[in-house]
A and B are shown apart, each in its own frame.
Chain A
Amino acid sequence: MTEILADLNYWVTIFLMIGGLYIITAHGNMIKKLVGLGIFQTSVYLLFLSPGKVLGGTAPIIAPGFELYSNPLPHVLILTAIVVGVATIALGLALVVRIHEAYGTIEDDEVQEMEAD
């Protein structure tokens, strides 16, 4: 039990990763697919941030009395990744709006049916 708790971050990462991928593949609704994509990307944020925490370390600002700092690099990386994620979801939603205008539906199978004729 304590072993699982020690690696709790990674278990959550795996859960989010697989859950996100499952939603992307299992749902035909284009908005839900994007929600899945968002969850999948979020799992990566956790994957990067978890190893950056140094136990007992403080925020990486040099100050007297503190010797041990957490690694600041993952935060910088993930800020960038969050921006990329926001842009992707925004563009995806914009496309869904256009698809709704063109087809009148955002269900994958209905759109495919209309494309077939």
Chain B
Amino acid sequence: MLAQHLPALQVVIPLLAAPLCALFRRGFIGWLIAVAATWLAFAAAIGLLFRVLNEGVISYAMGGWAPPIGIEYRVDLINVFVLVVVSGVGSVIIPFARTGTAARFNDTDQAWFYAMYLLALTGLLGVTITGDAFNIFVFLEISSLASYVMIAMGRDRRALTAAYQYLIMGTVGATFIVIGIGLLWAMTGTLNLADLAQRIPEINDTRPVLAALAFLTVGISLKLALFPLHLWLPNAYAYAPAVTSAFLAGTATKVAIYLFLRFFYTVFGGGGFFESTPLPEMFLVLSVVAMFAASTVAVFQDDVKRMFAYSSVAQIGLITLGISYVSETGLTGAMTHLFNHAIIKAGIFMLLGGVMFRMASVKLEDMAGIGRKMPFTMAGIVILGLALIGTPGTSGFISKWWIVLAALEKDQWWLVALILLASLITMLYVGRIVEVAYFREPSAKAADVREAPLAMLIPAYVLVIATIYFGLDTQWSVGLAQRAAADLLAGIY
């Protein structure tokens, strides 16, 4: 009975928990509700995963209205994989959130913060699970509006302008997406994704469909921060509270990448657009430029949070590079890296949150010598940094390996060289932090700093350990990604 309604519960649990947090107006109660809701959502995602593995695709008619007229929640291997990542990262961050938020905000603001967090999670899970194009837009806006608020709650006043900038660019992106959906609806008369996929091949050379493709490409690229549409990301991640940065880095861009896969492989897949338009080449070039430009800018940042924000743009480039091959190996690499990078980046921003909590600064100069003062925090950052570079034994190596394999499959040796070169640049900025934190005398700010509180360290270390674990045992990450990639490719042929 309950298992049957899992697709609805996945979204409804955090959606109902959010106003509850706001009603109680007490930080601690809000936090308890948020913990319960996120963990239940994670349990629902795991439940869905096993149901999909056992029974195949689940189609759930929302409110009992049969698709394609009613809204359909459609769960297959591709989106259940993303659901597990998003709800998993979301439930690890919430235990971490208590210490920092309790120290900074009054009771009411804390409760509102958890309410926003749950709404953002609702939106992201909704975008992932729904099979209805307009529903995607609505959930996307729910998550975006909540994340603008979460960014604006940063301690620096620059958080406000970062949130404003993201609001303008994010809304333009979402509106582009809804224009694309509108054009598709006008041409086909349906909003159901599976229905759209069936009807598009017949009209694949009409101008409105091509225009829809263009609008969706730009809109989704804005949301996933593909170079050069990434301008909102560095400030938003750098000045937001640690909880927000960790959550957005681990989930929001990943869901946008899922949307990208869903539209280009499932919905437009049958139309042969990968052959008739220069889409793969365009994404190949933009991804490579993103990897180099963003990594290079990251090397010269003095604010460590900003550094890792630029690193996110570069890593997203690596994921879209995997997608641009349009091959099973490339997609496996992209999906695996979506999974691994979510864990790595959420972990890094959580550990930096610990540094911020103790020192009220994450400037590189202030972090001098904290390797001795905060040994566990810094060790965690180093391990996750090694995973970003792609060191064997960490999860980052696995996904990079698959993406390199995909390049080799197409005999593109120059691309392999470029990927390795970009890894070297990653090594430069991670190395810069290691050098400053371990080999310099403690700065004035770091002189009497203690290790971050356990309540912040333990959740972050769950992700550090996951990064090592998924570097050794790839049965779940690569295994599932491979099957999802095969399903995605089946949409094209």
Contacts and interface: CB of A to CB of B under 8 A. Distances in A.
A18 interface: no
Nearest to B178: A44
Nearest to B141: A84
- In order of increasing CB-CB distance, the 3 nearest A-B pairs are A102-B157, A51-B186, A84-B141
B145 A87 contact: yes
Interface residues of A, number: 29
B171 interface: yes
A26 interface: no
B395 to A, nearest CB: 36
Interface stretch (B32-40, B158-166, B340-348, B458-466): B158-166
Interface string B123-152: 000000000001001100100010011001
A96 B165 CA distance: 11
A85 to B, nearest CB: 9
A82 B381 CA distance: 44
B200 to A, nearest CB: 17
A88 B145 contact: yes
Interface of B: 134, 137-138, 141, 145, 148-149, 152, 157-158, 160-161, 163-164, 167-168, 171-172, 175, 178-179, 182-183, 185-186
Given A40-B172, A88-B167, A103-B157, 16 more contacts: A24-B168, A24-B172, A30-B164, A44-B175, A47-B182, A47-B183, A48-B182, A80-B134, A81-B137, A84-B138, A87-B141, A88-B141, A91-B148, A92-B164, A95-B152, A111-B161
A111 B152 CA distance: 16
The secondary-structure label for the interface of chain A is helix
Nearest to B170: A88
Given A44-B182, A111-B161, A95 B167 contact: yes
Contact of B175 (A40, A95, A96): A40
Contacts of B148: 91, 95
A98 B160 contact: yes
Contacts of B182: 44, 47-48
Contacts of A47: 179, 182-183, 186
Contacts of A48: 182, 185
Contacts of A34: 168
A37 B168 contact: yes
A16 B137 CA distance: 21
Contacts of A30: 164
A33 B186 CA distance: 29
Interface centre among B157, B179, B182 (most CB of A within 10 A): B182
A77 interface: yes
Nearest to B169: A24
Nearest to A41: B175
Interface centre among A24, A41, A77 (most CB of B within 10 A): A77
Contacts of A24: 168, 172
Contacts of A80: 134, 138
